[in-house]
Amino acid sequence: MKTGRLEFTTSGPTEFVDLTDRIRDSLVRDGLRNGRVHLQSLHTTVGLAVNENEPLLLRDFAAMLERLAPARAGYEHDDFSRRFDVPLGEPVNGHAHCRQLLLSGSITLLVEEGELVLGRWQSVFAVELDGPRPREVAMQLDGEFARLQDSLVEAELARQLLTDPEPVAEPMRRLVEAGGKRLRPRLVQLTAALGPNDNPLRAAELAAAVELLHNATLIHDDYVDESTHRRGRPTVAAAEGPERAIAVGDYYFAKATRLVAEIGNPAVTSVIADALEAICASQIDDVALRGSYPGDRESYMRVVRGKTASLFSAACESGALLSDASPDVVGALRRFGDLLGTAFQMADDMVDYSPTSGKPVGLDIRQRVLSLPLIYAADDRVVGPEVRRLLAGALGDQEVGRVTELVTASGALPRVRREAEALVEEAVRELEAVELDGLRPTLIGLARSAVDRDS
Amino acid sequence: MSVQLLDHELDRLESLWSDGLSDAYRVYLESVKQFDPEVRPRLALAAALIEVGTRLQGLGTRAAPPTTLLMGDLCLARGSRLLADHAPLAVQVAFARAIETVSAAAASQHSAPPTRVLLQQALGAVR
Q: Please answer yes or no on whether B96 and A168 come within 8 Å at the CB atom.
A: no
Residue B74 has a pLDDT of 98
- B65 touching chain A per CB within 8 A: no
- With beta carbons under 8 A apart, name residues in chain A contacting B83: 273
Residue A455 has a pLDDT of 40
Chain A interface residues (partner B, CB cutoff 8 A): 164-165, 167-168, 220, 223-224, 241-248, 250-251, 253-255, 257-258, 261-262, 264, 266, 269-270, 272-274, 276-277, 279-281, 283-284, 287
Weakest mean pLDDT among A329-343, A394-408, A433-447: A433-447
Residue A228 has a pLDDT of 87
Residue A57 has a pLDDT of 95
| pLDDT surpassing 90 at residue A361 | no
Banded pLDDT at A186 (limits 50, 70, 90): very high
Residue A368 has a pLDDT of 87
Chain B closest-CA separation from residue A170 CA (Å): 11
**Average pLDDT score over residue span A251-272:** 98
Q: Residue A128 and residue A148: Cα distance in Å, rounded?
A: 38
Q: Where are the alpha helices (DSSP H) in A195-265?
A: 200-225, 236-240, 242-263
DSSP H or E stretch at residue B5: helix B3-9
Asked whether the beta carbons of B59 and A217 are under 8 A apart, the reply is no
Query: In this structure, is the dihedral angle defined by the CA atoms of residues A349, A352, A357 and A358, taken in order, positive or negative?
Result: positive
- With beta carbons under 8 A apart, name residues in chain A contacting B119: none
Q: What is the mean pLDDT of chain A?
A: 92
**Average pLDDT score over residue span B115-124:** 96
Q: Please answer yes or no on whether B74 and A264 come within 8 Å at the CB atom.
A: no
The proportion of chain A whose per-residue pLDDT surpasses 70, expressed as a percent, equals: 98
3-state secondary structure of A425: helix
Q: Residue B48 and residue A56: Cα distance in Å, rounded?
A: 53
- Cα angle value B16/B22/B24 (rounded, 5°): 105
Digit-coded pLDDT (tens) for A222-234: 999 888 888 878 9
pTM metric for this prediction: 0.77
Banded pLDDT at A28 (limits 50, 70, 90): confident
**Average pLDDT score over residue span A259-271:** 98
Query: Concatenated DSSP letters for A179-203?
Result: ----HHHHHHHHHTTSSS---HHHH
The proportion of chain A whose per-residue pLDDT surpasses 90, expressed as a percent, equals: 76
**Average pLDDT score over residue span A171-178:** 93
The rounded Cα A304 to chain-centroid distance in angstroms is: 20
The proportion of chain B whose per-residue pLDDT surpasses 90, expressed as a percent, equals: 89
- The partner residue sitting opposite A257, judged by closest CB among B80, B104, B107, is B80
Q: Residue A394 and residue A387: Cα distance in Å, rounded?
A: 12
- B49 touching chain A per CB within 8 A: no
Asked whether the beta carbons of A101 and A81 are under 8 A apart, the reply is no
**Average pLDDT score over residue span A336-353:** 94
Residue A321 has a pLDDT of 98
**Average pLDDT score over residue span A429-448:** 89
Phi, psi of A88 (to 5 degrees): -65, 135
Name the nearest CA neighbour of A183 among A308, A281, A35, A278.
A308
| pLDDT surpassing 60 at residue B3 | no
Q: Residue A349 and residue A369: Cα distance in Å, rounded?
A: 9
Q: Please answer yes or no on whether A165 and B104 come within 8 Å at the CB atom.
A: yes
Residue A34 has a pLDDT of 87
Digit-coded pLDDT (tens) for B42-75: 999 999 999 999 999 999 999 999 999 999 999 9
Residue A181 has a pLDDT of 83
Weakest mean pLDDT among A164-173, A273-282, A345-354: A345-354
Q: Residue A403 and residue A415: Cα distance in Å, rounded?
A: 17
Name the nearest CA neighbour of B85 among B122, B48, B39, B118.
B39
Query: In this structure, is the dihedral angle defined by the CA atoms of residues A195, A197, A203 and A209, taken in order, positive or negative?
Result: negative
Most B-contacting residue of A163, A220, A257, A268 (CB-CB within 10 A), to test interface: A257
Name the nearest CA neighbour of A187 among A433, A435, A398, A427.
A427
| pLDDT surpassing 80 at residue B22 | yes
**Average pLDDT score over residue span A63-91:** 92
Digit-coded pLDDT (tens) for A133-161: 999 999 999 988 777 677 899 999 999 99
Residue A217 has a pLDDT of 97
Residue B4 has a pLDDT of 66
Residue B127 has a pLDDT of 47
Digit-coded pLDDT (tens) for B66-118: 999 999 999 999 999 999 999 999 999 999 999 999 999 999 999 989 999 99
Banded pLDDT at A292 (limits 50, 70, 90): confident
* ipTM for the whole complex: 0.96
Banded pLDDT at A410 (limits 50, 70, 90): very high
**Average pLDDT score over residue span A250-268:** 98
Residue B1 has a pLDDT of 52
- The partner residue sitting opposite B70, judged by closest CB among A262, A274, A283, is A283
| pLDDT surpassing 70 at residue A16 | yes
Asked whether the beta carbons of A188 and A315 are under 8 A apart, the reply is yes
